Amino acid sequence: MAREITYRDALREALREEMDRDERVFLMGEDIGAYGGSYVVTRGFLEQYGRKRVRDTPISELAIVGLANGAAMGGLRPVVELMTINFSLLAMDQIVNHAAKIHYMFNRQISVPVVIRTASGWGQLGATHSQTFEAWYAHVPGLRVVMPATPKDAKGFLKSAIRGQDPVMFIEHSLIYRNRGEVPDGEYLLPLEGAEVRREGTDVTIVSWSRGYYLALGAAEELARDGIEAEVIDMRVLRPLDIDTVVRSVQKTNRLVIVEESWRTLGMGAEIAAAVQEHAFDYLDAPIARVGSVEVPMPYAKNLERLVIPGKDEVVAAVHELLRRDVAVAR
């Protein structure tokens, strides 16, 4: 049995279930209480759970994460909300120099089971509010980085993240909170690992994650009308990165397009491409293609913004280009 719910409601269910299960689970962040959360994920939680467990904080990202690290070390299960991933840069020291290091540096004596929820996204918000930094966090050993695309993953990952022993960067996306999808009835957990093949195909593999997955899927449907069958992989988890699933797909399709919303330079796509050519060099019939943002700070004007972020058309074009190269090589 399954139900169809939104991505936002999936997160709300996960938080509720875990808060009901374990008194040590609490939420803290800017405007998550009385305001209900910048993206309305925690609306009603303050009324239901009270101020002890739903804690509005000052605008103080570094200390929000730092307190969560300490609270986790002290036996609590903090779930932090950083309003957007842009603001997480203010907490970078606590995430990278502390949460990610403490378990290893102190020889496994101390663990930091903290969950940092934050949102990627854009929408005429300008240069400092339209970025996504999953690649920065995925660079760091000691962090787990998840970026679910579907309501099912969002709920199952969040529950596992809260119960786990490691620090987790849980990256949502402001433009998919209203997306609907099936979730299983009753309780379920999903391990924080593994990419998933969501559409099978034979001609090309398109890899993405979070909102990018929907672009990839839309492109695949359009390509199917031209008789091109694309396999679509949702990476789901960016650290640890499941390269084996991508390699298996490329061994079948022999072509790979990676779609990311961020800048391509030193991005997730660069890492995936490098890893795939290490493991599947002989299977590639064309260079690996990357579709990403134009390398500028995000402009405000709507027409310019649209040029920066890739859309479905750019993904379709990239696949056609790749197949043309393929033909050219064959000649």
Q: Is 162 in the site for another protein (CB under 8 A)?
A: no
Residues in 8-27 that interact with another protein by CB under 8 A: 24, 26
Amino acid sitting at position 298: M
Among 71, 190, 204, 223, binds another protein (CB under 8 A): 71
Q: Is 68 in the site for another protein (CB under 8 A)?
A: yes
Q: Which is nearer to another protein, 98 or 152 (CB)?
A: 98
Residues in 183-202 that interact with another protein by CB under 8 A: 193-194
Considering the complex, what minimum distance in angstroms separates the CB of residue 68 from another protein? 6
Please check whether residue 56 is in contact with residue 25, taking contact to mean a CB–CB distance below 8 angstroms: no
SS (H, E, C) the chain: CEEEEEHHHHHHHHHHHHHHHCCCEEEEECCCCCCCCCCCCCCCHHHHHCCCCEEECCCCHHHHHHHHHHHHHCCCEEEEEECCCCHHHHHHHHHHHHHCCHHHHCCCCCCCCCEEEEEECCCCCCCCCCCCCHHHHHCCCCCEEECCCCHHHHHHHHHHHHHCCCCEEEEEECCCCCCEEEEECCCCCCCCCCCEEEECCCCEEEEECCHHHHHHHHHHHHHHHCCCCEEEEECCEEECCCHHHHHHHHHHHCCEEEEEEEECCCCHHHHHHHHHHHHHHHHCCCCCEEEEECCCCCCCCHHHHHHHCCCHHHHHHHHHHHHHHHHHHHC
| φ, ψ of residue 254 in degrees (nearest 5) | 65, 10
Q: Is 141 in the site for another protein (CB under 8 A)?
A: yes
Q: Is 165 in the site for another protein (CB under 8 A)?
A: yes
222 given a catalytic annotation? no
Please check whether residue 204 is in contact with residue 113, taking contact to mean a CB–CB distance below 8 angstroms: no
Q: Which is nearer to another protein, 90 or 224 (CB)?
A: 90
Q: Is 174 in the site for another protein (CB under 8 A)?
A: no
Stretch that binds another protein, among 41-49, 71-79, 128-136, 197-205 (CB under 8 A): 71-79
Q: Is 95 in the site for another protein (CB under 8 A)?
A: no
Q: Which is nearer to another protein, 111 or 179 (CB)?
A: 111
x-marked contacts with another protein along 112-131 as a string, rule CB under 8 A: -x------------------
Q: Is 79 in the site for another protein (CB under 8 A)?
A: no
Residues in 268-327 that interact with another protein by CB under 8 A: none
Q: Which is nearer to another protein, 65 or 319 (CB)?
A: 65
x-marked contacts with another protein along 27-66 as a string, rule CB under 8 A: -------------------------x----xx-x-xx-xx
Considering the complex, what minimum distance in angstroms separates the CB of residue 171 from another protein? 17
Check 13, 61, 81, 271 and give the catalytic one: 61
| φ, ψ of residue 6 in degrees (nearest 5) | -80, 165
Q: Which residues contact another protein by CB under 8 A?
A: 24, 26, 52, 57-58, 60, 62-63, 65-76, 78, 93-94, 97-98, 102-111, 113, 141-142, 144, 164-166, 193-194, 237, 240-244
Provide the annotated active-site residues: 61, 129
